[in-house]
Structure 1
Amino acid sequence: MSSALNFDPIRLPPECEALRAEVRQFIAEEIRSGTIDPSNGLIGDQADKEFSKRLGAKGWLGMTWPKKYGGHERTFLERYVVTEELRAVHAPIWYHFIADRQSGPILLKYAPEDIKMNILPRICAGECLFAIGMSEPGSGSDLFAARSKATKVDGGYKINGTKIWTSYAHVADYMIGLFRTSAPTKENRRHGLTQFLIDMKNSPGIKVSPIGQMTGRGDFNEVVFEDLFVPDDHVLGEVDGAWKQATSELAYERSGPERFLETSYVLTELIRTLGPEPDTRGAEGLGRLVAQLHTLRRMSVSVNGMLQAGKEPVVEGSLVKDLGTIWEQKLPHKVRDLAAFSEGEATNRATLEEQLIYATATAPKLTIQGGTTEVLRGIIARGLGLR
């Protein structure tokens, strides 16, 4: 079945702009205290529990969730504004971000009531870090090629296998993992996958090993499961049918402003470097970059409007992630080119060079986060009826 791409021209309502002003005031206070440095992309890659707890106290985590679970029953567009403002200044959001963005919604839909009441309020308070267990060695972002197995035993399942590129697994409280409970069929290679909630702190049978990055950071990990027991009540949703849940989850993961803002600090530094009166070459190049950024933002806002309307814009979310990743990966090279003839003595050229070094080193990993370009384009092509 095919469908046309749909990006509704959504405008943010007045309550979103009022919230934006409130968030900006909070950010200004955090900048003064030194928690946030808008020019330092390294800070944005960190997990700061105390910062996440302050956001929770402001009511900015679990914003769309029911109040009975600690949420605030606000809109997806209001949540978008908070995310956008925090990502624009590269705030250290990773302690809460995965749980707030996608793991919490999965628990809301599929977890037993006692688990919801236990975990969701802690996410809303900024006190719970989640990892995502999807990618595997040899299959990467092709989720349906997963080979890690969950075998039924008395009272639950025994899990064996490996997950890779697992961000913050070394400090995570929980993981939502995708494991094979049955073999795929000829008619449906998606059959046989099940999602599980895994307690990363209190479960024997888990080995976490760091994967180094060119930036020197260590948030990626390999996670090996050896006869890990997971009780029946930690099965999330339909046994053998998690592919429907996982694709829905990816609409949340792939559509936010984080998918095009991760290296945007070099654009900010470029503007400072070129100054208020750039030459024709610099002005034209800067204009193109800002126009591209604006287009990606409008697409992302539209997808979040569709989420607010109860839709599952998997194809549109995949497109935002594909285009956004390519843009933010190419951005450091374009910025370096445009800044080549600037006068370093009279500008922030030294700061720009530092940011370019970090952004260039971190750019390759961006295509791994949330799905590689090849897999995303397969999803888009399938959604459009082209394969």
Structure 2
Amino acid sequence: MTDFTMPALGADMEEGTLVEWMVKPGDKVKSGDVVAVIETVKGAIETEIFEEGTVGELRVKVGETVPVGTVLATIIGTSAEKAPVEPASKATEAAPESAAETEYLPAAPAPVEGVVRASPAARKLAGDLGLALAGITGSGPGGAVTLADVQAQAPTISPQTAKPGTKRGFDPDAMRRGIAAAMAKSKREIPHYYLSTRIDMTRAQQWLAEENARRRIGDRLLPLVLPLKAMALALHQVPELNGFYIDDTFTQSEKVHVGVAIALRGGGLVAPALHDVARKTLDELMHDLNDLITRARTGMLRSSEMTDPTITLSNMGETGVEDIFGIIYPPQVALVGLGKVLDRPWVEGGRIEPRPIMQVSLSADHRVSDGHRGGIFLNAFDKLMQKPEAL
């Protein structure tokens, strides 16, 4: 028997609220299945399990807020005795799914008595508006409340059905406090060192323009995918920048999961992971990047995307910032920052000419690497960016 515990969905998380069980006792689960929705200051997170077996006891009730590490449920292994099954309430008939529905809803399990099924985005909006989900008729699978249901019904909900004064869902103030606490801890405990270099983006921009000219508009590549792939490949030469420092021990990661810093529309920041970046094509990265940004801004991230980034990329160029020297997000040991591409004087072949130049920075942990190794990484990054056709 193993325990499924409240995960730490980032270094700034100390507790979470269980807002929905996606399983019931007796259900079979496998690694990667979404079993619960957990609400943090960064929104509702679909939380996966990484065990295989049968759900035993659900130890935390919907609506409870518990610290990180609290046992939420027990999982009985496949070779163990079959778990007892609690009686479930009578299932409601599934309403036909609207063709216009665009938000994700997991497959509907048998409903648990007293629990209103809803997508994370719908639950978040209802919480922000102070509305009770019980007063909204769901049109999703199994009668689940969808985001469209909340948007459509919000103006007609009576004051009597609204939740009293509790603030749920995304809380910018709480997020800012959480980020500040994590960054203060990072600066206090991690001996940072900082390096930067300038990269000539002429070849990268020319190749990208020619490549996109051959593509349909919907298939074109964003400039960010090139440095994403280049930094992941450069880590092969300096692998000590890719991994986790926990309990005075560095554990190198075999795969490169890049945490991409994404600004949220309501304020605040998240940095969920793009998985296995070094092994993906530019087209795959483009698809995954668009999907990640969309889900981050609609409160539909997975727990694995919040817990396993092995290094972070912060792209400040789109805001007009020329340089960034970021703070490492523990337990990671490095962060790469990108500035705005600007035309600068550049010496090439003995001549001074204007070139598009990007400032790239590295913030790294001196307990794991040093400036010499960091310099090798930035040099490798530069060389890869000069051969965009090979990425």
Sort the TM-score into its range (normalised by shorter chain). Answer: under 0.3
| Larger fraction in strand | 2
| Larger fraction in helix | 1
Larger Rg: 2
Q: What TM-score do the two structures reach when normalised by structure 1?
A: 0.27
